[in-house]
Amino acid sequence: MKAAARRLKGHEPPCPQGVGGCPGGTRLARCDAARASRPGRCNADVVRHFLVFSRVVGLLLIGVALSVLLGWSRGLVMLAAVVPGQVTMKPSAAIGFLIAGGALLLAHHGGRAARAGSTVCSVSLLLLGAAVLVQYLWGADLGIDHLFPDPDAGRLGRPPGRMAELAAVGFMLLGGIGLLMAVDRWLWLRDFLALGVIAIAMVGLASYGVTLAGQRGELFSHLPILTAVLLLLGALGWMSATPTVGLTRVATADSLGGVLARRLLLPSLLLPAAFSFAFKALQLRSGVSDAFALALAALFTGGTVACLIWWVAALLDRIERHRDEFKVLRDHATTDTLTGLINRRGFDAAISELLRRKKHFGMPFSLLLVDLDSFKNYNDRFGHLAGDEVLQRTGRILRDVMRPLDVAARYGGEEFAVLLPEAGITAAAAVATRIAEKFHGDGWPNGPVTASIGVAEAMSGETASELIARADGALYEGKRTGRDRIVLAEAMRKSAA
- What would the mean pLDDT of 87-93 be, rounded to a whole number? 83
Q: What is the pLDDT of residues 299-343, one digit of tens each?
A: 777 777 777 778 777 777 777 777 777 666 666 668 888 998 999
Q: Is residue 353 situated within a structural domain?
A: yes
102 in Cβ contact with 117 (< 8 Å): yes
pLDDT bracket for residue 447 (50, 70, 90): confident
pLDDT bracket for residue 446 (50, 70, 90): confident
What strand order describes the sheet that includes 486-488? 407-412, 415-421, 365-372, 451-457, 486-488
Whether residues 247 and 348 fall in one domain: no
Q: Which domain holds residue 467?
A: 344-496
Whether residues 229 and 376 fall in one domain: no
pLDDT bracket for residue 144 (50, 70, 90): confident
Domain end position, chosen among 254, 271, 291: 254
Q: Rounded to an integer, what distance in angstroms lies between the CA atom of residue 298 and that of residue 291? A: 11
Domain end position, chosen among 226, 254, 282: 254
pTM exceeds cut of 0.85? no
Question: Quick check: 215 pLDDT over 60?
Answer: no
Higher pLDDT pick, 26 / 447: 447
Higher pLDDT pick, 79 / 261: 261
Whether residues 121 and 238 fall in one domain: yes
Q: Rounded to an integer, what distance in angstroms lies between the CA atom of residue 124 and that of residue 129? A: 9
Q: What is the pLDDT of residues 1-42, one digit of tens each?
A: 334 444 333 333 333 333 344 433 344 444 444 444 444 467
Whether residues 240 and 357 fall in one domain: no
Q: Is residue 108 situated within a structural domain?
A: yes
211 in Cβ contact with 38 (< 8 Å): no
Beta strands in 287-380, from DSSP E residues, in sequence order? 365-372
Q: What is the pLDDT of residues 363-405, one digit of tens each?
A: 999 999 999 999 999 988 999 899 999 999 999 999 999 998 9
Q: Is residue 338 situated within a structural domain?
A: no
- What is the pLDDT at residue 209? 55
Q: Is residue 324 situated within a structural domain?
A: no
Q: What angle do CA 46, 272, 237 make, to 5 degrees?
A: 35
Question: Catalytic pick from 165, 389, 414, 477?
Answer: 414
As a whole number of Å, the CA-based R_g of the chain is: 36
Whether residues 250 and 394 fall in one domain: no
Looking at the chain, the whole-number percentage of residues with pLDDT higher than 70 is 77
Q: Is residue 264 situated within a structural domain?
A: no
> Which of 75-79, 256-260, 334-338 has the least mean pLDDT?
75-79
Whether residues 48 and 183 fall in one domain: yes
Q: Rounded to an integer, what distance in angstroms lies between the CA atom of residue 63 and that of residue 54? A: 14
- What is the pLDDT at residue 210? 56
- What is the pLDDT at residue 427? 94
Q: Rounded to an integer, what distance in angstroms lies between the CA atom of residue 310 and that of residue 494? A: 67
Chain centre distance of CA 457: 41
| Residue 414 annotated among the catalytic residues of the structure | yes
Whether residues 19 and 155 fall in one domain: yes
Domain end position, chosen among 254, 288, 304: 254
Whether residues 81 and 208 fall in one domain: yes
Q: Is residue 311 situated within a structural domain?
A: no
Q: Which residues does residue 366 pair with via DSSP β-bridges, in sequence order?
A: 420, 457
The CATH number of whichever domain residue 376 belongs to comes to 3.30.70.270
Q: Is residue 458 situated within a structural domain?
A: yes
Mean residue pLDDT of the chain comes to 80
Q: Which residues does residue 367 pair with via DSSP β-bridges, in sequence order?
A: 419, 456
Q: Rounded to an integer, what distance in angstroms lies between the CA atom of residue 412 and that of residue 418? A: 13
- What is the pLDDT at residue 331? 63
Whether residues 358 and 464 fall in one domain: yes
For 416, the enclosing helix (H) or strand (E) is: strand 415-421
- What is the pLDDT at residue 152? 62
- What would the mean pLDDT of 98-113 be, rounded to a whole number? 89
Looking at the chain, the whole-number percentage of residues with pLDDT higher than 90 is 40
Local structure of residue 247 (DSSP, 8 states): T
Q: Is residue 316 situated within a structural domain?
A: no
- What is the pLDDT at residue 77? 65
Whether residues 209 and 354 fall in one domain: no
Burial zone of 35 (CB within 10 Å; 0-12 exposed, 13-18 middle, 19+ buried)? buried
Burial zone of 108 (CB within 10 Å; 0-12 exposed, 13-18 middle, 19+ buried)? buried
Local structure of residue 79 (DSSP, 8 states): G
Provide the b/e sequence for 206-236 (b: ≥16 CB within 10 Å).
bbbbebbbeeeeeebbbbbbbbbbbbbbbbb
Domains in the chain, number: 2
Higher pLDDT pick, 216 / 66: 66
Q: What is the pLDDT of residues 402-436, one digit of tens each?
A: 998 999 999 988 999 999 999 999 999 999 999 99
Q: Rounded to an integer, what distance in angstroms lies between the CA atom of residue 449 and that of residue 483? A: 11
Whether residues 239 and 354 fall in one domain: no
Question: Quick check: 462 pLDDT over 70?
Answer: yes
- What is the pLDDT at residue 495? 46
